[in-house]
Amino acid sequence: MTMCAKYKIPIIAAVFFAATIVMQGCHRADQTDKDTGFHITEAFLDSLLIDTVQEASARSQITLTGSIAPDETKMVKIFPLVSGVAEDIKVQLGDVVRKGQTLAILKSAEMAGYTKDFVSADADVRNTKRVFESTREMYQSGLASQKDLEQAQSDYQKAQAESKRAGAVISINKSNDNGYEVKSPLSGYVVEKNLTNNTQVRADNGQNLFTVADLSTVYVLANVYESDIARIQTGDPVKITTLAYPNRAFDGKIDKIDNMLDPDNRSMHARIKIINPGNLLKPGMFANILIKAQSGEDLPFINSNAIVFDNDKNYVIVVDGKAKVHIQQIVVAKTVEDRAYIGEGLKPGDRIVASRQVYLFESLKE
């Protein structure tokens, strides 16, 4: 064996050994670099709030304010038919009353006159009837003329007519020994009261004494601002909430939209008729109104809180499967309240992360 061959084998072995060490070092370095990357676990993904891109819809939501008002078709303003002085007020504002219940008593000289007329008319009927019957018997006996009989019959008929008139006046103007009774024509709530004891009342006064309303159905008068007028129409579904019942929603539909704007606040009223279970809603209550109105767009939508804004662009974190997510750039066509309508980047049914999305976004993009 030559000297060259003698040293050749150890040199090759040393080179091979060194190369092996280098390759193992590189493999460990690659493995180390890979392990230091961001990973999402299935357990972590399960702890996040996941939202679904909603189906395209041509409706958007409009939030308005308004107030509760009585149903005009079930409300009666009560006026006095006679003059007098109020002596006994039997109800107060907000009281529940029944049909025919006495609301107040008036001392009225007119009622005394009506009573006198009725008693006098009743007496005239009896007297003229007696004269007519007597004259008829005399006519049959030849002791009275045809003219006398006709006159007696005419007087009797006039007395009957006057008695009916006086009786009708008494029946309309209910009274008892205490005076003229102001009665409720329907069951409901006293929503207006303009009468106190010792008030002088005149029949020709334009001020009503009471207003009674049946509150089984009520109106909600929504203030629609000029910018929203074109977006609502009769028949749009509505949800109503109030300060008194914040966790309860009342459903209804717009049944009338005014044609006149209030010049002071540039708004007009939309009227919503709703059923009032248990008479919970009272006239004058403040109401929040959510209207599902025509949006003019046919785009899928998500909750705008799920969007991450970075460098003048919008992104969401899309869930691909178990422990798999990726960053997706999107184009927002428009935003209405808390809804973002998506022009590009998402389709209905896609699942997106709706919590800690900023943390995921920063971790994934690194």
Domain ranges of the chain: 42-56+298-365, 63-72+213-296, 73-212
DSSP class of 118: H
Average pLDDT over residues 87-116: 86
Identify the pLDDT of residue 353.
94
Residue 142 binned pLDDT confidence (cut-offs 50, 70, 90): confident
Identify the pLDDT of residue 160.
93
Contact 74, 314 (CB under 8 A): no
Residue 109 binned pLDDT confidence (cut-offs 50, 70, 90): confident
Average pLDDT, the chain: 83
Say which CATH topology domain 42-56+298-365 has.
Answer: 2.40.420
Say which CATH topology domain 73-212 has.
Answer: OB fold (Dihydrolipoamide Acetyltransferase, E2P) (2.40.50)
What distance lies between CA 223 and its chain's CA centroid?
12
What is the CATH superfamily name and number for domain 63-72+213-296? Efflux pump adaptor protein, beta barrel domain (2.40.30.170)
Could you give the CA distance from residue 366 to residue 362 in angstroms, rounded to a whole number? 7
Tokens, residue 115: 């009573």
Contact 172, 110 (CB under 8 A): no
Nearest Cα to 295, choosing from 333, 324, 325, 329? 333
Q: Is the pLDDT of residue 239 over 70?
A: yes
Percentage of the chain exceeding pLDDT 70 = 85
Contact 151, 112 (CB under 8 A): no
Could you give the CA distance from residue 296 to residue 233 in angstroms, rounded to a whole number? 13
Among 143-157, 240-254, 262-276, whose mean pLDDT is lowest? 262-276
DSSP class of 304: G
Could you give the CA distance from residue 199 to residue 210 in angstroms, rounded to a whole number? 13
Its sign, for the CA torsion 151, 155, 157, 158, is positive
Its sign, for the CA torsion 208, 209, 215, 216, is negative
Nearest Cα to 65, choosing from 293, 285, 218, 289? 289
250 versus 61: the higher-pLDDT residue is: 250
Q: Check if 42-56+298-365 and 73-212 are the same fold.
A: no
Tokens, residue 165: 């008139």
Residue carrying structure tokens 């189906």: 55
Could you give the CA distance from residue 293 to residue 333 in angstroms, rounded to a whole number? 18
Residue 319 binned pLDDT confidence (cut-offs 50, 70, 90): very high
